[in-house]
Amino acid sequence: MNKRIGVVGIVIDDRQKVAGKVNSILSQHGDIILGRMGIPSREYNISVISLIVEGTPDELGSLTGKLGNLNGVTLKSALTSKEV
């Protein structure tokens, strides 16, 4: 499979509970992550992380599947149709 560029948006409901698990999963998939920006919102007790990724659909599925199985984590992802 050819690699494609994509984005992943992650919302974490309770940062104290799952931040370590999220960071561990992101580190495991660090080879497909090109960029990462995270913003905490203390007012709403959430954190938002945006990722720019380059990988195959299977690699992105592995990352998003593991993150999506964590309680308190909501995410959406999209891959472009452009192969790189």
Annotate the chain with three-state secondary structure.
Answer: CCCEEEEEEEEECCHHHHHHHHHHHHHHCHHHEEEEEEEEECCCCEEEEEEEEEECHHHHHHHHHHHHCCCCEEEEEEEEEEEC
Task: Give the pLDDT mean for 3-23.
Answer: 93
Task: Give the pLDDT mean for 39-49.
Answer: 91
- The overall average pLDDT reported for the chain is 94
In the predicted structure, residue 1 carries a pLDDT above the cut 80: no
pLDDT at 83: 85
